[in-house]
A and B are shown apart, each in its own frame.
Chain A
Amino acid sequence: MSSSSNSDIRRWYVIAAPYLWLLIFFLVPFFIVFKLSLSDVATAIPPYTPTFSWSIADFVSKLDFENYTFIFGDPLYVNAYLSSLKIAGISTFLTLLVAYPMAYGMARAPKGWQPTLMMLVILPFWTSFLIRIYAWIAILKPEGFLTMFLMKLGLITEPLQIMNSTTAVYIGIVYSYLPFMILPLYASLEKINPALLEAAQDLGSRPWRAFWQVTFPLSLPGVFAGCLLVFIPAVGEFVIPDLLGGSETLMIGKTLWTEFFNNRDWPLASAVAVLLLLVLIIPIVLFQRQQQLEREAGR
């Protein structure tokens, strides 16, 4: 009895600090965002009303769903949500198309090369996101490297108009999130037992068919994890649409930023955030479930 309560106390030494930290700085803030999304904007410091008060009835009576009816009534916001989902979906698919052959090649590469190849994939991920997006501005702008290069080859005569378009956003997302897709794909491809492929080939299966019927289905957990890792943050992306997309691209992360920093409408920005979270809750839960399964399988 006493030993078990002792070990309970010891457990709490380990858990308490990170648990409390995350409760205070991760979970509680969401309730504040939710509360604020029901408040009204005010020209005060802080710029919303009502502020927290101890008279609960009075406080609650001042809350309303005005911000939500406003968002649903304005096609600008609805379109921003839909176009974020569309842009994130298409770029996730494009990322998968670019990442799969790379991960596949890495998994088949000689064993001695693999740590180096892994390193080369991870290195850009460690390099500043902002700087990597900035690097693309010089490439994509009308007088940029890509136009110069293609003109020299004689493939085009007019400057390319990619900068400040949705195409530039696709390129930016594929580029910055590529490592997130490659790593889980590589991990699941690397685990596949080569004997399975040999068996398929011995039984007369063409390489292409063996790939579709054996390799690809076995790599699905990696595909699934990679797609979630790219899709979820891409929906709320701010830096890429802001720097590469120009005014033409509508994305919800950018809308939230503008409401908050330019219009200083904190309650509306909070309502935008709550709805964004609702849109993402299913993919986030799927992601967590997948991580949990992986951890249990690894044990």
Chain B
Amino acid sequence: MRGRFSWFNATSILIGFAFLYIPILLLVIYSFNVSKLVTVWGGFSTKWYGSLLENQALKDAAWVTIRVAILSATVATILGTLAAIALVRLNRFRGRTLFSGMIFAPLVMPEVIIGLSLLLLFVAMGLDRGFWTITIAHITFTMCYAAVVVQARLADFDKSVEEAAMDLGATPVNTFFQVTLPIIAPSVISAWLLSFTLSLDDLVIASFATGPGATTLPMKIYSQVRLGVTPEINAISTLMIGVVTLGVLAAAYFTKKSSEREDKERRKAFGAAG
């Protein structure tokens, strides 16, 4: 589409973004408030960040959360990329409908159902609940997001490049690592980042999947939020928002750079041919 960009269009975008961002901005601003009252501004201070550093339980929870997120994002990206290749490149295989169903259903499935069903599986299997069960649970639901992200990129790239490599005698494995993977790399990185932040954020599924051994940061925040709004939670939230924002901006920069490089190479190739 395109057409005239009217005042109405500009206003609706502005109001929409105000709605999306003002709550987050207020939260960030008031994490620097001297006063313990979260809605009354008393002056600038970073003391709540200092008190976070002394909170050992919070630091432990943060460490568990980061380890779970790194591990589960890595496994989920590998499984998700394989799933995406299966969905896009292999048109017919036995159980394809079931397979694509299992990829798309978790995207909309209410978290309470995924959490409960995984917990019952872990109990039936007799697994000790804690770090590993949270990781398995996170791999399961984030790999579907990873698959969707990679699949979108695979679907719109030129298959003939792969076919050319195969015609020139490359094995499928070689073709994948030397042709396909470099092309889809930015989407694989975004898939990893998306899985990482989804795991970092998850409260419901982790609450079901964990045992007495492991507490994640969202679980810790949740139990404190139920008692009321405090500047300390604002501070930890601001830190989490900061990390995620940096990650997303880095991913966007990376994707842009790699598509620019691709354009340049394409132009060069055409230039040489012409």
**Chain A interfacial positions (CB closer than 8 Å to B):** 10-11, 14-15, 17-19, 21-30, 32-33, 36, 46, 52, 98-99, 101-102, 104-111, 115, 117, 119-124, 126-132, 134-139, 141, 143-145, 148, 175, 178, 182, 189-194, 197, 215, 228-229, 232-233, 235-239, 243, 253, 256-257, 260-261, 266, 269-270, 273, 276-277, 280, 283-284, 287-288, 291-292, 295, 298-299
Contact = CB atoms under 8 A, between A and B. Distances in A.
A104 B247 CA distance: 28
Contact of B108 (A14, A229, A253): A229
B102 interface: yes
B82 A17 contact: yes
8 contacts: A107-B1, A120-B17, A126-B244, A128-B218, A239-B203, A243-B226, A253-B112, A276-B112
Contact of A236 (B6, B110, B147, B245): B110
Contact of B93 (A15, A27, A190, A235): A15
A271 to B, nearest CB: 11
Interface residues of B, number: 92
Contact of B113 (A18, A236, A243): A236
B270 interface: no
Given A11-B93, A32-B121, A138 B229 contact: yes
Nearest to A190: B1
Contacts of A266: 120
B87 to A, nearest CB: 8
A15 B86 CA distance: 6
A229 to B, nearest CB: 6
B124 interface: yes
Given A15-B86, A29-B117, A238-B111, A148 B39 contact: yes
Among B23, B26, B111, B139: residue with most chain A CB under 10 A: B23
B9 A108 contact: yes
Interface of B: 1-6, 8-10, 12-13, 16-17, 19-21, 23-24, 26-27, 30, 38-39, 78-80, 82-83, 85-87, 90, 93, 95, 98-114, 116-118, 120-121, 123-124, 136-137, 139-140, 143, 147, 151, 155-156, 172, 194, 197, 200-201, 203-204, 207-208, 218, 221-222, 225-226, 229, 233, 237, 240-241, 244-245, 247-248, 252, 256
Contacts of B151: 295
A296 to B, nearest CB: 10
Nearest to B99: A19
**Chief secondary structure at chain A's binding surface:** helix
A108 B1 CA distance: 6
Given A17-B82, A124-B24, A189-B1, 14 more contacts: A18-B99, A26-B102, A29-B120, A32-B124, A102-B13, A130-B225, A134-B27, A148-B39, A175-B19, A233-B110, A233-B111, A288-B104, A292-B100, A298-B155
Nearest to B90: A11
B231 to A, nearest CB: 10
Contact of A131 (B16, B21, B118, B221): B221
Contacts of B30: 138
Given A15-B86, A25-B136, A131 B99 contact: no
B90 A15 contact: yes
Contacts of A29: 117-118, 120-121
Given A22-B99, A194-B1, A276 B104 contact: no
A238 B204 contact: yes
B23 A139 contact: yes
A270 B121 CA distance: 12
Nearest to A197: B3
B112 A108 contact: no
A232 B108 contact: yes
B237 to A, nearest CB: 4
A14 B85 contact: yes
A240 to B, nearest CB: 11
Given A98-B16, A122-B248, A134-B233, A22 B155 contact: no
A115 B104 CA distance: 26
Contacts of A27: 98, 102
B82 A33 contact: no
Contacts of A134: 27, 221, 225, 229, 233, 237
Nearest to A122: B248
Contacts of A260: 116, 208
A287 B110 contact: no
B108 A284 contact: yes
A43 to B, nearest CB: 16
Contacts of B155: 295, 298-299
Contacts of B233: 134
Nearest to A295: B155
